[in-house]
Amino acid sequence: MEDFEIITFEYSDPYDGAATVPADKVVAEFMKQYKCYFSPEYYPEDEVWFMRSRLFLSYRDKTGGDKPMTVMLIGPITDELVAEIKAAVTQLYVKRCPDCGEKMPKKWKWPVCEVCRDL
């Protein structure tokens, strides 16, 4: 079992990260960094750019803000690992009703779902 490294960059300078992450915890640790620096509350899904190669994957801020961030995972990147991380990232952007937990359309203008709104 191989270890991974997670590095977060601000501009191109190392900013934060975890030097050694075991393979069985890599998705959870990567998602902690992702949530910290790309909170769905502030970063729309289409403004965070994904890139991968054989030995790294990264998500990068494309909003044009004043401090662009990149969260990078370094290690043996498999298709299964990419699928797991992409699924976890997608789940962050699912909009749910805070009252009942039901999924809501992304463009829904109310803070709760239609059923809860009409109660």
If the chain, 119 residues long, is cut into consecutive pieces of 10 residues, what is the mean pLDDT of each piece? 90 87 95 94 91 96 88 96 96 88 82 86
- Residue 77 parent element (H or E): none
- Check residue 17 and give its pLDDT: 86
Q: Give the span between the Cα atoms of 88 and 74, in whole angstroms.
A: 18
Per-residue pLDDT, 26 = 96
The confidence score (pLDDT) of residue 31 equals 96
Confidence (pLDDT) at 94: 87
Handedness of CA 84, 22, 17, 32 (dihedral sign): positive
pTM for the whole structure: 0.84
**For residue 60, what pLDDT is reported?**
96
Per-position b or e across 21-37, b if 16+ CB within 10 A of its CB: beeeebbebbbebbeeb
